Amino acid sequence: MTLDKARLVQMLRTMILIREFDERAIQLRLAGKIYGTVHPYVGQEAVAVGVSAQLSVTDRVTSTHRGHGHCIAKGADIRRMMAELFGRVDGYCKGKGGSMHIADFAVGMLGANGIVGGGLPIACGAALAGQLEGKGAVTVCFFGDGAAAEGEFHESLNIASLWKLPIVFVCENNQYAANNPVGVQHPRVDIAAHAAPYDMPGVGVDGNDVLAVHAATADAVTRARRGDGPSLLECKTYRWHFHAMRAARPPETRPAEEIASWKAGDPIARLEQHMVGRALLSPDELRAIRDRVGAELDEAVAFAEASPFPDPKDLMADMFAR
Amino acid sequence: MAVMTYREALNLALREELTRDPNVFVIGEEVGLYEGAYKVTQGLLKEFGPKRIVDTPIAESGFTGVGIGAAMVGLRPVVEMMTFNFALLALDQIVNSAAKLHYMSGGQYNVPLVIRGPGGPAHQLAAQHSQSMEVYFYHVPGLKVVRPSTPMDAKGLLKAAIRDDNPVIFIESETLYNVKGEVPEDPDFVIPLGQAVVRREGTDVTVVAYMGMMYRAMEAAEELAKDGISVEIVDPRSLQPLDTATIIGSVRKTHRAVVVEAGAGFAGMGSEIATEITEEAFDDLDAPVLRVTGAQAPMPYARNLERAKTPTKEKIADAIRRVCYANGSR
């Protein structure tokens, strides 16, 4: 399927927004404007965007500690995301969740999850509910290569296949589980190969090619909506920055050549080149997109700064439902 | 009222709630075809079908997470743990997701989930299958924890747990499944969570005990009545929320208290209740609050060691005498 200009512009815009959101978050963290920890998604934008472009608002996603990209791609409001990073009352979680727990019920974003692998069974539960609802809702479960070593990965693939759940498991293999390379954590670095024993399709995808991710997701989502069960996509990508930062950037331990070679395959530049090649993007249009993203981020930061901190009186609010 | 076993009361509660609310479903190991390791789900697969009574692989973390995800988007799962000992394999899902999602999402997501199954000391099942598990859960903000001692409570509290919009840990007991008692047949009969009950009225000492320990305390109370010691027994039923008002009210009347728990005593429910009493009713006390608890050891296999590990009627009676300063003097 060849995507038209409007769709491509939308995807490019979202990828740029994700990148600039996290670049901004790093700067705000360094400046002491936001606290806690930040796990930047920079470099992996093609995965969240390529996958989410196949979903509707009634479809659901679970995310990870590196979840800002998934939130934005699923349609979350960056002003409320930024307010959450600032720990303010207008944040998605009223300042009680922070970066690793952003959720947006309204767009089917079931939440980032600070526990590696923790989202996999929860995604299966949402998919089970979708199956029982019978309205064709699909759940996408984002997780990293590190999670594939967790028991919950295997439990979830087994359960999902056994019950033919409408779910797509999307592994973002960014080559590092926290700070150790994937090769020292798996005897064979082929996450997609785990699909076969669980009797589901497993596809390795160039995770820096948003169009390839989009196409592979189409097959998996179609299969899930048809009631034929789950699929596993392994999107091979790379995080440009550190695993996590607090007050300062941690020292880089990865080989410089490796970083340079992945940056040369920048997923945003690749989409831009594709669009320029098809005469679908002029330098003016690109500049306009970038300016608009910058303005939206300025607005989000202003929104966050203007939002009050939570009232200590509300410490015990939302402990229990009702 | 009908007379039925604790097992049958649980089964009836499930059947009634499955009938009342199409969003309720039961999920766990062997709950369907095999009708439950302890037959609590007997007949349910036949009546409600495989979409409502869902057999799972042996994957506690997996199917507990399935319950959480389903609850987040509107269903009301009842997750069965074949025994609660296996819930340790799902502890991350329970503690880090079920308990926290409502708060952590700023109130966006509810997790109306019940996790139920037997726990506590059983008969010669040894260290990994015979232990009090409630302590792992009632410490966690966001969880409700229920321990129903009688068939009536089993029915009324399970129905309340299923109707609750929060995650509820509901721990039954292998040793109580065959206990018989009167149970209301009214499908609207529920016992609200967080309400203790006075099982036996008395004037000299308050004993707080639940599950098998409640029955042993009742036996001890019968025996002590012959010696002229009048024992009041309070069964908390819910450990979180804990009905401290009923416990404190009883202590203000009797001025003495003994707390019994089957599990190891260090930082246990006995410690918590003793502290609550001391903080709230210190001036009413005529003696220090005593605890009778399981020994700080894994449950041994041999029958005599099992008895040595666990609070017995004799140990409870001895503590009551001591708190009444009646040890050896009557």
Average pLDDT over residues B240-248: 98
- Which helix (H) or strand (E) segment holds residue B62: the answer is helix B60-72
In which band, very low, low, confident or very high, does the pLDDT at A322 lie, cut at 50, 70 and 90? confident
CB-based contact, A158 to chain B, within 8 Å: yes
The answer to whether residue B159 is domain-embedded is yes
In which band, very low, low, confident or very high, does the pLDDT at A26 lie, cut at 50, 70 and 90? very high
In which band, very low, low, confident or very high, does the pLDDT at A1 lie, cut at 50, 70 and 90? low
Collect all residues of chain A within an 8 Å Cβ-Cβ radius of residue B107: 94, 317-318, 321
Beta carbons of A118 and B107 less than 8 Å apart: no
Three-class SS of chain A: CCCCHHHHHHHHHHHHHHHHHHHHHHHHHHCCCCCCCECCCCCCHHHHHHHHCCCCCCCEEECCCCCHHHHHHHCCCHHHHHHHHCCCCCCCCCCCCCHHHCCEHHHCECCCCCCCCCHHHHHHHHHHHHHHHCCCCCEEEEEEHHHHHCHHHHHHHHHHHHCCCCEEEEEEECCEECCEEHHHCCCCCCHHHHHHHHCCCEEEEECCCHHHHHHHHHHHHHHHHHCCCCEEEEEECCCCCCCCECCCCCCCCCCHHHHHHHHHCCHHHHHHHHHHHCCCCCHHHHHHHHHHHHHHHHHHHHHHHHCCCCCHHHCCCCCCCC
Beta carbons of A105 and B105 less than 8 Å apart: yes
Closest Cβ opposite residue B105 in set A62, A111, A115: A111
What pLDDT, on the 0 to 100 scale, is given for residue B330?
41
Beta carbons of A155 and B57 less than 8 Å apart: yes
Closest Cβ opposite residue A151 in set B61, B97, B141: B61
What pLDDT, on the 0 to 100 scale, is given for residue B327?
73
Average pLDDT over residues A238-253: 94
User: Rounded to 10 degrees, what is the CA torsion of A229, A70, A79, A18?
Assistant: -140
Chain B residue nearest residue A60, CA to CA = B73
Using DSSP, state whether B82 is helix, strand or coil.
coil
Chain B residue nearest residue A113, CA to CA = B97
Assigned token pair, B184: 């209301």
Question: Which of A81, A34, A26 minimizes the C-alpha distance to A303?
Answer: A81
For residues B151 and B276, membership in a common domain is answered with no
Beta carbons of A159 and B63 less than 8 Å apart: yes
Closest Cβ opposite residue B102 in set A124, A162, A320: A320
How many domains does chain B contain in total? 2
Q: Which residues of B are catalytic?
A: 60, 129
ipTM of predicted assembly, 2 dp: 0.96
B320 pLDDT more than 90 = yes
Domain boundary among B157, B183, B209: B183
For residues B125 and B36, membership in a common domain is answered with yes
CB-based contact, B65 to chain A, within 8 Å: yes
Q: How far apart are CA A7 and CA B181, in angstroms?
A: 66
CB-based contact, B298 to chain A, within 8 Å: no
The answer to whether residue B191 is domain-embedded is no
Residue B125 near residue B205 (C-beta atoms within 8 A): no
For residues B6 and B76, membership in a common domain is answered with yes
Q: How far apart are CA B194 and CA B238, in angstroms?
A: 5
Q: Which site among A122, A141, A198, A319 would you substitute to test the B interface, given the most B Cβ atoms closer than 10 Å to its Cβ?
A: A122
In which band, very low, low, confident or very high, does the pLDDT at B328 lie, cut at 50, 70 and 90? low
Collect all residues of chain B within an 8 Å Cβ-Cβ radius of residue A124: 62, 65-66, 69
For residues B170 and B22, membership in a common domain is answered with yes
What is the model's pTM? 0.96
For residues B266 and B121, membership in a common domain is answered with no
Collect all residues of chain B within an 8 Å Cβ-Cβ radius of residue A105: 105, 108-109
Collect all residues of chain B within an 8 Å Cβ-Cβ radius of residue A166: none
For residues B176 and B291, membership in a common domain is answered with no
CB-based contact, A126 to chain B, within 8 Å: yes
For residues B170 and B215, membership in a common domain is answered with no
Q: How far apart are CA A130 and CA A318, in angstroms?
A: 26
CB-based contact, B72 to chain A, within 8 Å: yes
Percent of chain A with pLDDT strictly greater than 90: 98
CATH of the domain at B100: 3.40.50.970
A309 pLDDT more than 80 = yes
For residues B165 and B272, membership in a common domain is answered with no
Provide the residue range defining the domain that includes B240.
Answer: 197-328
CATH code: domain A5-306 is 3.40.50.970
List all residues of chain B from 15 to 44 with a beta carbon under 8 Å from chain A: 25
List all residues of chain A from 204 to 263 with a beta carbon under 8 Å from chain B: none
For residues B18 and B163, membership in a common domain is answered with yes
For residues B177 and B282, membership in a common domain is answered with no
Beta carbons of A110 and B56 less than 8 Å apart: no
For residues B233 and B305, membership in a common domain is answered with yes
Average pLDDT over residues A123-137: 97
Beta carbons of A124 and B69 less than 8 Å apart: yes
Partnered with residue B292 across adjacent β-strands are: B260
Q: How far apart are CA B169 and CA B9, in angstroms?
A: 18
Collect all residues of chain A within an 8 Å Cβ-Cβ radius of residue B101: 103, 111
For residues B169 and B241, membership in a common domain is answered with no
Q: Tell me the pLDDT tens digit for each residue of B213-234.
A: 999 999 999 999 999 999 999 9
B329 pLDDT more than 60 = no
Collect all residues of chain A within an 8 Å Cβ-Cβ radius of residue B144: 320
Q: Tell me the pLDDT tens digit for each residue of B102-152.
A: 999 999 999 999 999 999 999 899 999 999 999 999 999 999 999 999 999
Collect all residues of chain A within an 8 Å Cβ-Cβ radius of residue B68: 121-122, 125
CB-based contact, A94 to chain B, within 8 Å: yes
Q: Tell me the pLDDT tens digit for each residue of B198-215.
A: 999 999 999 999 999 999
Chain A residue nearest residue B22, CA to CA = A132
The answer to whether residue B188 is domain-embedded is no
- Going from N- to C-terminal start, the domains of chain A cover 5-306
Domain boundary among B130, B156, B183: B183
Average pLDDT over residues A176-194: 95
In which band, very low, low, confident or very high, does the pLDDT at A312 lie, cut at 50, 70 and 90? very high
Average pLDDT over residues A6-14: 98
Q: Tell me the pLDDT tens digit for each residue of B38-96.
A: 999 999 999 999 999 999 999 999 999 999 999 999 999 999 999 999 999 999 999 99
Does residue B241 have a cis bond before it (omega within 30 degrees)?
yes
Beta carbons of B93 and A124 less than 8 Å apart: no
A2 pLDDT more than 90 = no
Collect all residues of chain B within an 8 Å Cβ-Cβ radius of residue A114: 96
Domain boundary among B152, B183, B214: B183
Residues 6+ apart with CB under 8 A from B51: A132, B25
Q: Tell me the pLDDT tens digit for each residue of B282-292.
A: 999 999 999 99
CB-based contact, B328 to chain A, within 8 Å: no
What pLDDT, on the 0 to 100 scale, is given for residue A244?
95
Beta carbons of A94 and B107 less than 8 Å apart: yes
The answer to whether residue B310 is domain-embedded is yes
Closest Cβ opposite residue B104 in set A97, A156, A162: A97
The answer to whether residue B27 is domain-embedded is yes
CATH of the domain at B323: 3.40.50.920
CB-based contact, A135 to chain B, within 8 Å: no
